[in-house]
Amino acid sequence: MHLKPIKMAVGHRPLCLQSFPVLFWTCSLLLLGCGCVPMQRDMAKEVASYTDVANQIIKLVLSGSAQKRSYERLSNFTDAIGNRVSGSHNLELAIAYMYNAMSQDGLDVHLEPVKVPHWVRGEEGAEMVLPRPKTLAMLGLGSSVGTPPEGIEAEVVVVSSFEDLKSRGANVSGRIVVFNQPFVSYGETVAYRAFGASEAAKLGAVAALIRSVTPVSINSPHTGVQDYQEGVRRIPAACITVEDAQLMARMAARGQRVVVRLNMGAKTLPDADSFNTVAEIRGWQHPEQVVVLSGHLDSWDVGQGAMDDGGGAIISWEALSVIKDLGLRPRRTLRAVLWTAEEQGGVGAQQYYQRHKANISNFDLVMESDLGTFAPVALQFTGSPAAQKVMQEVVQLLAPLNTTRLEPHGEGTDIGPWMQAGVPGASLHVEDDRYFWFHHSEGDTMSVQSPGAMDRCSALWAVVAYVVADLQDMLPR
Amino acid sequence: MHLKPIKMAVGHRPLCLQSFPVLFWTCSLLLLGCGCVPMQRDMAKEVASYTDVANQIIKLVLSGSAQKRSYERLSNFTDAIGNRVSGSHNLELAIAYMYNAMSQDGLDVHLEPVKVPHWVRGEEGAEMVLPRPKTLAMLGLGSSVGTPPEGIEAEVVVVSSFEDLKSRGANVSGRIVVFNQPFVSYGETVAYRAFGASEAAKLGAVAALIRSVTPVSINSPHTGVQDYQEGVRRIPAACITVEDAQLMARMAARGQRVVVRLNMGAKTLPDADSFNTVAEIRGWQHPEQVVVLSGHLDSWDVGQGAMDDGGGAIISWEALSVIKDLGLRPRRTLRAVLWTAEEQGGVGAQQYYQRHKANISNFDLVMESDLGTFAPVALQFTGSPAAQKVMQEVVQLLAPLNTTRLEPHGEGTDIGPWMQAGVPGASLHVEDDRYFWFHHSEGDTMSVQSPGAMDRCSALWAVVAYVVADLQDMLPR
């Protein structure tokens, strides 16, 4: 497919002047690392020359024709498709939807094939049988095996940590382990969801029920992927609610015998065909050099996947739209990649890396938004000190958004392989204090999104991507 | 049943001194309304003489043998019984549980029979059929009729207010009305839950789905009672989640045809036998005069009914326990009443009022806790200006709890009839900013309660009840 002709932006520098800062910037690179004033001043000057174009981008998104468009696109998309777990028909629909939508938007779109895991939840349910009958809200965990058709009924042992589990020793055999770990942080506590089943199985447990990894619950189960350890028996694993984990913990602490019946029809089918969805504005000077903007298109099979990560996918598209709408075309290629099967461990992104890593020297910057598209507060960035200096100047262009903070450590499952190989990486820090309330649950819907916050994310995303892609030189490694 | 002998509290005024403030207080009443300094000083002096006993009560609860007992009692109770809707076997179990527990605690306990509504939910479910299939989390509303066995499938009309509904006119006939009203406050917004079905039925709707009345949702439906208007066709009524109401509103706004299938097995059986559960410490001087402390024992048929209103019931019991433990016995009778069928409109309390209203002149103060037992911030009070002056002094005794604020307007469905007839009423204002997140949902569990906050509620409740019951004179009307 071909890029449509793009008109010049009113007020943008004419092409004939675009080579103006080359000399200064090249000299700067030669002086790199010495901290000399001329380098900093010249680089700063080059970046500052984008102030007008940054203001145009921000204005178009916050109060111009692109206002509320990110939210509209996200709601049109997620309302139409719903959730879209790896291997599902919904994910196929989602990829087709975005392929068409971005093509109709005038972008250069193509699909790159990926083999993805195909886990299906099936019918499932859990009930506390003793000391009194009670339905337990639950969600099986991704990659879990199912139970036998008749289910598993067993006495429960409630533990508060992996250490507590080990201290139970022989008492775990034949039991269902309930992990009632406190929520400390997602990064720390998610270990129980990821490894709880195998740790319990090592001691002979027949199933594992893990307290959902969230600081706030309205009896809400949260799913996610879990990892079986090689050589350890695979037992069914599901998450239950904070409330029910605490209930069974209190009962067990009283010496009551707690018995649970678990039924899970989960199974893993052969890997399915899927695609990373790629849309581009090709660079006018160095089309082989790329700035990647990304989010993942797949989600869990609950809620709408609006927050995780429809928002990240949409602002990556939207950033390209805005740049196109303004008639801008940077030196380098802007590439929006909507990853597939991120939730299964960045599967689509890993295959993308394998396919493109030979070209790694042309990857200027990889950006990912996968922590929500609430109001942005900063850009997170991983790169060399010299690259950080450039980015420190770039974020000053975000002054109209009041987000001129550059924080260390860009992050994202999908951009991880590139960053580990030395490519600078950026991610979006947003007001995410409620993110894990909804994460991987039925509560991840459009109701948590706001048009204004999404506009701010899109504007930030567009300014950063455009300016980095248009600077005279790639970011120093 | 008889009150067990109660030992004297260490440090409490000996009985022989208990008539000391009579003269001053009587004089004060004669001067009532003139605002004279002597009246205020003498009343203040009498109340202030309870400082030591108030401190003893607070110490016993916050750091003595009663510490964490309120929470333990509530969790033992609600973990064992679970929820307990009017007419259910669980409510019978709950009443028997509390009768036995309070009797074993040494209180004088009896049951007063009440006829209560017996609505049963039955099997229920809702699904959006068009524009795409999606399960809708829902809860039928109390008193709703069911659907025919085959369910109701109809196109949806989404409205944002009663005015919006009326403006749809003929378009409502044969449709399911989805009320997507914004949450303003519980008091204001609950009108849609209460009256939505009949208002929709007046225009020919076949069912009503009401957005749950809550400011925060993790796809959580909240139930509650609804009222059919006389002479209007009774159509099935259920609550759905904020998320699904907003989803269907967005779809309808796009011009999409939204079709929902609703199945509800709800029905109303003949009234059931139930009881108000009453525990007393009889007054030594005026046993016929009473201070009522209360909460309701019934709940909705979801969650544990820990917050609404297990906590209120338990602190009313606990206040009597603490007073008994300290060997205190006030002049007047302290009566804990655990109402039945409050959720159906204060049914138990209304029958209690009818049974006892002839004795209204002996009702000194009616207290109810039904807004949660989170950390207390103030006592709410309805009474004459003269009574307010007394209570203003009483709350000064709560200085160790840092809750010396007296706010206007005591409230409570169950104490309403007495307050309307002129009896002073008090209620507990707590840190309730999250109350409606969990209210009438599966999230109303022990997980929202904390031992420390409940201790503070119990201590406040005990001090206020004891002092008012022991003052020389009843509160002026």
Band (pLDDT 50/70/90 cuts) for residue B299 is: very high
Report the C-alpha gap between A120 and A175 in whole angstroms: 25
Can you give the pLDDT at residue A12?
Answer: 38
Report the C-alpha gap between B413 and B92 in whole angstroms: 21
Give yes or no for A458 touching B (CB within 8 A).
Answer: no
The answer on A314 and A398 residing in a single domain is: yes
Give yes or no for A303 touching B (CB within 8 A).
Answer: yes
**Cβ-based contacts under 8 A for chains A and B:** 84
The answer on A295 and A166 residing in a single domain is: no
Can you give the pLDDT at residue A14?
Answer: 32
Contacting residues for A425 by C-beta, under 8 A, at least 6 apart: A365, A366, A367, A368, A381, A382, A383, A410, A411, A412, A415, A418, A419
The answer on A452 and A313 residing in a single domain is: yes
pLDDT tens digits in sequence order for chain A, 477 residues long: 222 333 333 333 333 333 333 333 443 444 444 444 455 669 999 999 999 999 999 999 999 999 999 999 999 999 999 999 999 999 999 999 999 999 999 999 999 999 999 999 999 999 999 999 999 999 999 999 999 999 999 999 999 999 999 999 999 999 999 999 999 999 999 999 999 999 999 999 999 999 999 999 999 999 999 999 999 999 999 999 999 999 999 999 999 999 999 999 999 999 999 999 999 999 999 999 999 999 999 999 999 999 999 999 999 999 999 999 999 999 999 999 999 999 999 999 999 999 999 999 999 999 999 999 999 999 999 999 999 999 999 999 999 999 999 999 999 999 999 999 999 999 999 999 999 999 999 999 999 999 999 999 999 999 999 999 999 999 999
A340 part of a folded domain? yes
Give the residue from B158, B213, B218 with the most A CB atoms within 10 Å of its CB, the best one to mutate. Answer: B218
Q: Tally Cβ neighbours within 10 Å of residue A82.
A: 22
The answer on B301 and B260 residing in a single domain is: no
Report the C-alpha gap between B207 and A398 in whole angstroms: 50
Contact A341, A297 (CB under 8 A): no
- Interface touch A246/B446, C-beta < 8 Å: yes
Q: H-helix or E-strand containing B287?
A: strand B286-296
- Interface touch A79/B247, C-beta < 8 Å: yes
B362 part of a folded domain? yes
Q: Tally Cβ neighbours within 10 Å of residue B381.
A: 25
- Interface touch A442/B137, C-beta < 8 Å: yes
- Interface touch A132/B217, C-beta < 8 Å: no
Phi, psi dihedrals of residue A350, rounded to the nearest 5°: -65, -40
CATH of residue B354's domain is 3.40.630.10
The answer on B105 and B159 residing in a single domain is: no
B9 part of a folded domain? no
CATH of residue B212's domain is 3.50.30.30
Contacting residues for B76 by C-beta, under 8 A, at least 6 apart: A254
B476 part of a folded domain? no
B103 part of a folded domain? yes
Task: Name the residue among B75, B216, B445 with its Cβ closest to that of A243.
Answer: B445
The helices-and-strands tally (H runs, E runs) of chain B is 14, 16
Report the C-alpha gap between B140 and A376 in whole angstroms: 39
Average pLDDT of span B347-352: 98
Residues in chain A with CB shorter than 8 Å from the CB of B158 are none
Q: Is the reported ipTM for this assembly greater than 0.90?
A: yes
Q: What is the DSSP string of A38-72?
A: HHHHHHHHHHHTTHHHHHHHHHHHHTSTTTTHHHH
Q: Is the pLDDT of residue B25 over 90?
A: no
Shortest distance, CA A239 to any CA of chain B (angstroms)? 16
Residue of B nearest to A78 (CA): B247
B7 part of a folded domain? no
Residues in chain B with CB shorter than 8 Å from the CB of A81 are 132
Q: Which of B68, B77, B61, B66 is nearest to B306 (CA)?
A: B77
Can you give the pLDDT at residue B27?
Answer: 38
The answer on B225 and B142 residing in a single domain is: yes
The answer on B201 and B321 residing in a single domain is: no
State the residue range of the domain holding B448.
15-116+271-470
The answer on A129 and A114 residing in a single domain is: no
Band (pLDDT 50/70/90 cuts) for residue B281 is: very high
Phi, psi dihedrals of residue A294, rounded to the nearest 5°: -155, 160
Residue of B nearest to A218 (CA): B443
Residues 197-256 on B with a CB inside 8 Å of A are 216-220, 242-243, 246-247, 250-251, 254
Which of A244, A265, A286 terminates a domain? The answer is: A265
Question: pLDDT, tens digit, for every residue of B304-337?
Answer: 999 999 999 999 999 999 999 999 999 999 999 9
Report the C-alpha gap between A249 and A260 in whole angstroms: 13
Sign of CA dihedral A251, A252, A255, A257: positive
Report the C-alpha gap between B326 and B57 in whole angstroms: 8
- Interface touch B134/A82, C-beta < 8 Å: yes
Q: What share of chain A is helix, strand, coil (3-state, %, to 5)?
A: 40, 25, 35
The answer on A460 and A311 residing in a single domain is: yes
Can you give the pLDDT at residue B39?
Answer: 56
Can you give the pLDDT at residue B4?
Answer: 31
Report the C-alpha gap between A92 and A110 in whole angstroms: 14
Percent of chain B whose pLDDT exceeds 70: 91
Which of A265, A293, A313 terminates a domain? The answer is: A265
The answer on B229 and B147 residing in a single domain is: yes
Give yes or no for B75 touching A (CB within 8 A).
Answer: yes
Question: pLDDT, tens digit, for every residue of B155-192?
Answer: 999 999 999 999 999 999 999 999 999 999 999 999 99
The answer on A376 and A237 residing in a single domain is: no
Question: pLDDT, tens digit, for every residue of B407-424?
Answer: 999 999 999 999 999 999
Our count of domains for chain A comes to: 2
Can you give the pLDDT at residue B238?
Answer: 98
Average pLDDT of span B77-81: 98
Q: H-helix or E-strand containing A139?
A: strand A138-140
The answer on B289 and B167 residing in a single domain is: no
Specify the 3-state DSSP secondary structure of A234: coil
Shortest distance, CA B240 to any CA of chain A (angstroms)? 13
B6 part of a folded domain? no
Can you give the pLDDT at residue B309?
Answer: 98
- Interface touch B443/A218, C-beta < 8 Å: yes
Contact B63, B451 (CB under 8 A): no
Tallying the residues shown for chain B, one arrives at 477
Can you give the pLDDT at residue B40?
Answer: 62
Average pLDDT of span B450-473: 98
Report the C-alpha gap between A180 and A420 in whole angstroms: 34
A96 part of a folded domain? yes
Question: pLDDT, tens digit, for every residue of B234-245?
Answer: 999 999 999 999
Q: Rounded to an integer, what is the distance from CA B327 to the centroid of its chain? A: 29
Contacting residues for B468 by C-beta, under 8 A, at least 6 apart: B291, B364, B365, B390, B391, B394, B475
Can you give the pLDDT at residue A215?
Answer: 98
Give yes or no for B134 touching A (CB within 8 A).
Answer: yes
Band (pLDDT 50/70/90 cuts) for residue B38 is: low
Q: Which residues of A are catalytic?
A: 342
Report the C-alpha gap between B371 and B437 in whole angstroms: 13
Can you give the pLDDT at residue B30?
Answer: 42
Report the C-alpha gap between A252 and A250 in whole angstroms: 5
Report the C-alpha gap between B468 and A303 in whole angstroms: 53
Band (pLDDT 50/70/90 cuts) for residue B257 is: very high
Q: Is the pLDDT of residue B253 over 50?
A: yes
Give yes or no for B135 touching A (CB within 8 A).
Answer: no
- Interface touch A132/B251, C-beta < 8 Å: no
Report the C-alpha gap between A457 and A449 in whole angstroms: 12
The helices-and-strands tally (H runs, E runs) of chain A is 14, 16
Q: Rounded to an integer, what is the distance from CA B14 to the centroid of its chain? A: 37
Average pLDDT of span B287-312: 98
Residue of B nearest to A254 (CA): B76
Residue of A nearest to B78 (CA): A247
Can you give the pLDDT at residue A33?
Answer: 41
Which of A213, A231, A265 terminates a domain? The answer is: A265
Give yes or no for B82 touching A (CB within 8 A).
Answer: yes
Give yes or no for B137 touching A (CB within 8 A).
Answer: yes
Sequence-ordered alpha helix ranges (H) in A134-185: 162-168
Report the C-alpha gap between B311 and A16 in whole angstroms: 75
Where do we find the tokens 């959730």?
A83
